[in-house]
Amino acid sequence: MGRSAALFRTSIGLKITMALSGIVFVGFVIGHMFGNLKVYQGAEVFNHYAEGLREFGDPFLQYGQFLWIARAVLIVALVAHVWSAARLTRQSRAARDEGYRKLDSLEFSRTSRSMRWGGVALFAFVVYHLLHLTFGSVHPDFIAGDAYHNLVAGFQSAPVSGVYAVAMIALGLHLYHGVWSAFQTLGINGPRINRWRRPLALVIALIVAVGNLSFPVAVLTGLVA
C-alpha cells in the first residue's frame, strides 16, 4: 500500500503540474494569436503592438520589463511541463516493465505517445521560431524592430510557411487533448461540465490553429504583403 500510494500521489502531483503549466501555455498561445491578428491592420499597427509589448506597464515597469516577466513565467512553465512529462513517461514505462501493461488501454497509450512526440516537435518548433522571428539568425532578411517585415518576408518562403503549417496542426492536436485532459486532472468534471469539455477543447484548439495558420496563408496568397 505504502509504495503504490506514494506512486499514485506522485503521478497525480506530476499530472497537476502538467495541467497548471499547460494552462500558462494555453493563455499564451491564445494571447499571441490574437495579438498577431494585428498583422491584418498593416505594418504600422503591428509594429506599434510589438513595441507596446516592450512599453507595457509604464510607468510602473521599465522598458522591456513586462516582456522579461512574461518570458520568465513561460520558461518556468516550460521547465515544469517538460520535467513532469519526462517523469510521467519514466513512471509509465516502469509500470509496464513490471507487468501492468493491461492497465493502459491501447487508445490511452497511443494518445499519450502522440502527446509526447507532439510535445517534442512543438519544442523544436519554438526553438526554430525564436531563431526565425525573434533573433533572426535563421531569417534571410531580418530587420531588428520591424516585426511586420520579418513576418511577411519570412512567410514568403513556401518551405518555411510549410513548417509553420505542420507545427500549427501539431499544436492544435496537442491543445485539443491537453485542454481536455487538464479538466480531468484538475477534477473539473461532473455531468454538466463533461458535456462542454470536448467542445471547449475543440474550440480553443481550432481558434489557435486556424488563426495561426491564416498568417502564412495570407502572406503566400498576397493578402498580407
Task: For residue 36, state whether it binds ligand HEM (rule: CB under 6 A).
Answer: yes
Q: Is 224 helix (H, G, I), strand (E, B) or coil?
A: coil
Task: For residue 29, state whether it binds ligand HEM (rule: CB under 6 A).
Answer: yes
**C-alpha cell at position 149:** 517585415
Residue sitting closest to ligand HEM (CB): 50
Residues 6+ apart with CB under 8 A from 100: none
- Alpha-carbon distance of 44 to 39, in angstroms, equals 9
Task: For residue 40, state whether it binds ligand HEM (rule: CB under 6 A).
Answer: no
Find, among 76, 221, 91, 82, the residue nearest to 158 by Cα. 221
Site track 67-106 with ligand HEM (rule: CB under 6 A), x = hit = x---x-----------------------------------
Find, among 58, 52, 59, the residue nearest to 35 by Cα. 52
Q: Single out the segment in contact with ligand HEM by CB under 6 A; choices: 9-17, 112-120, 126-134, 196-204.
A: 126-134
Whole-number minimum distance, CB 141 to ligand HEM, in Å? 14
Find, among 148, 152, 191, 190, the residue nearest to 50 by Cα. 148
Residues 6+ apart with CB under 8 A from 55: 63
- Alpha-carbon distance of 15 to 9, in angstroms, equals 10
**C-alpha cell at position 103:** 492497465
- Binder among 77, 160, 171, 224 for ligand HEM (CB under 6 A): 171
Task: For residue 126, state whether it binds ligand HEM (rule: CB under 6 A).
Answer: yes
Whole-number minimum distance, CB 103 to ligand HEM, in Å? 32
How many other CB atoms are there within 10 angstroms of residue 111's CB atom?
A: 15
- Alpha-carbon distance of 183 to 114, in angstroms, equals 19
Task: For residue 32, state whether it binds ligand HEM (rule: CB under 6 A).
Answer: yes
Answer whether the bond into residue 59 is a cis peptide, omega within 30°.
yes
Whole-number minimum distance, CB 196 to ligand HEM, in Å? 25
Whole-number minimum distance, CB 147 to ligand HEM, in Å? 4
Whole-number minimum distance, CB 198 to ligand HEM, in Å? 22
Q: Which is nearer to ligand HEM, 19 or 147 (CB)?
A: 147
Task: For residue 21, state whether it binds ligand HEM (rule: CB under 6 A).
Answer: no
Binding site for ligand HEM (CB under 6 A): 29, 32, 36, 50, 67, 71, 126, 129-130, 133-134, 147, 151, 164, 171, 212, 215
